[in-house]
Amino acid sequence: LRRGVLQVGSVVPESPVDRWNAAQESDCLRVRPGDCIIAVNGVAAQRDDQCRGVLDQLVEQPQVFLSVRRPLRENETGYTALLQAVYVLFNPAKLGDVCALLERNRGRERSLFIRICNKYAMVHDDWWDLLLCLHRHRIRGKDELSDLEACLEQQRGNELALFDSWCAKWFDDAEESAQRVADMDTKAWPKLHLTLRRKSAGAPLGIRHDRTALDQKGQLIVCELLPDSPAALAGVCPGDVIEHIGGTDAAEVALRSRGRATESDTVASLEVELVLRRPTSLSTCVPTS
Give which of 75, 34, 71 is closest to 206, Cα–Cα: 75
- pLDDT in the model for residue 9: 92
133 DSSP assignment: H
Strands (E) across 19-125 are located at 36-40, 43-44, 66-69
pTM, two decimals, is 0.61
- pLDDT in the model for residue 98: 87
C-alpha–C-alpha distance, residues 120 and 115, integer Å: 9
- pLDDT in the model for residue 260: 40
- pLDDT in the model for residue 259: 41
Give me the average pLDDT of each 10-residue run along the chain (289 residues): 89 94 91 92 91 92 92 70 91 89 86 94 93 83 84 92 89 60 74 91 83 84 83 88 93 73 55 88 50
Contact call for residues 220 and 282 (beta carbons, < 8 A): no
- pLDDT in the model for residue 150: 93
Contact call for residues 182 and 214 (beta carbons, < 8 A): no
- pLDDT in the model for residue 229: 87
- pLDDT in the model for residue 264: 44
